[in-house]
């Protein structure tokens, strides 16, 4: 092992490998293209009319891997997805029903004056 004297000056050469654009302020996930009209149905992998956390997570990760959506860089993807799921699961029962999903969608489309 080479010892470095305390008075030494270290010079680092840094190379930027990749630069990734951030998301708009306040967003942790965005769609890169139009959102499917059948979003709930697509998330409900086993077609039991409820979306479990695992189905939700698998769907969001698939969208990101296919380039259809983007998660905020520099954050833990699983934590973001967990927060997204909790936000949709209105009654906290560990699943999202179509009614819960519609309620959340209505919130974003009906702005108050």
Return the CATH class of domain 34-109.
mainly alpha
**pLDDT tens, residue by residue, 79-102:** 999 999 999 999 999 999 999 987
Contact of 64 with 81, CB cutoff 8 Å = no
DSSP states of 69-97 as a string? EEEPTTS-HHHHHHHHHHHH-TT-SSEEE
| Average pLDDT of the chain to the nearest whole number | 88
Does residue 3 have a pLDDT over 90? no
Torsions phi, psi for 27 (to 5 deg): -100, 140
What is the torsional sign of CA 106, 96, 35, 67? positive
Domain boundaries, given as residue ranges, for the chain? 34-109
């Amino acid at each position: 092992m080479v010892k470095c004297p305390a008075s030494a000056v270290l010079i680092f050469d840094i190379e930027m490998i990749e630069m990734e654009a951030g998301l708009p302020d306040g967003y942790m996930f965005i769609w890169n293209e139009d959102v499917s009209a059948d979003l709930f149905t697509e998330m409900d992998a086993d077609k039991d009319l409820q979306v479990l956390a695992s189905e939700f997570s698998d769907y969001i990760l698939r969208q990101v891997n296919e380039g259809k959506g983007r998660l905020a860089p520099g954050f833990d993807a699983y934590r973001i997805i967990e927060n997204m799921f909790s936000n949709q699961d209105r009654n906290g029962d560990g699943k999202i029903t179509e009614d819960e999903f519609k309620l959340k969608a209505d919130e974003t489309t009906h702005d108050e004056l």
